[in-house]
Amino acid sequence: MDFKTPSKARSAHDLVTQGIGRGIMEGHYAVGSTLPGDADLMELFGVSRTALREAMKTLAAKGLIESKTKVGTRVLSRDSWNMFDADIISWHLQLGVDAQFLGWLFEIRQALEPLACVTAALRRTDNQLAKMKHALMAMYQCEKNRQGFTKADLAFHQAILEASCNPFLQSIGSLIAAALATAFNISSPVSSNERFQRVMKQHQAVFDAIEQRDPSAASAAMSELILQAAERVKVKKSGNPVSTIQLQAFTKV
């Protein structure tokens, strides 16, 4: 692994953080193992001790590693990782996701986004509703534009999170972005006119319920939207057969 020539846009801190973070996910640094010492890592990445230590603090905050005096820096198991962290989600996507990982993304969306719709219906301001409508109208205009539709769809969901006025719900934006981008790469809503119309009908139902300040209808509409998205997505990972996402654990609100 050669990390000594970073891109101009990547700092020494980012170089180490990404190098070790992705290395852990790829299994280059095995769970339970001890990372090489500072001198070796400084040589490997071509960075200063200060940059290395700052990166190690970042990785520890993400739950990937744990440092102990006289013991070294140990790689932690997945159950310690902060799966809401934008970098961790991004690295997972870069390395490729399987049906299980995408299923987890849909499960957490189903657990949290209907709740966000409930709170948005109760708390949204006129300006926040206008943001949702603007994003929704942009989606209608992207019937043949996958990239534009993805961007507008994400803006719609983020507007709902903002309108929830709940900072914990607002913090899941990166997770939703990852789920949408991955799902659309596999099966885009703009791949057929019938699918586009069905998806837009579902999003319109979410918007209408929030506009009418109907929390129950908003929650149900979002739950149905996520379920339908999960049902149409199939995941293929190199070397593995195509498998349909199973979401029996989902309960409609």
Per-residue pLDDT of the chain (253 residues; tens, 9 = 90+): 555 544 443 689 999 999 999 999 999 999 999 999 999 999 999 999 999 999 999 999 999 999 988 889 999 999 999 988 989 988 888 887 777 888 888 889 999 999 999 999 999 999 999 999 999 999 999 988 988 998 999 999 999 999 999 999 998 888 888 878 777 776 677 778 888 999 999 999 999 999 999 999 999 999 999 998 888 775 333 334 333 344 443 333 3
Please, how many CA atoms are within 13 Å of residue 182, restricted to the half-sphere of its CB? Answer: 29
The CATH classification of domain 97-244, taken from the options 3.40.50.300, 1.10.101.10, 3.40.50.2300, 1.20.120.530: 1.20.120.530
Three-state secondary structure call for residue 34: strand
User: Which of 153, 148, 158, 171 lies closest to 128, judged by CA?
Assistant: 158
Domain ranges, ordered by start, for the chain: 12-80, 97-244
The architecture CATH gives domain 12-80: Orthogonal Bundle (1.10)
Give yes or no for a contact between 150 and 184, defined as CB atoms under 8 angstroms apart.
yes
Give yes or no for a contact between 163 and 124, defined as CB atoms under 8 angstroms apart.
yes
97-244 has the same fold as 12-80: no
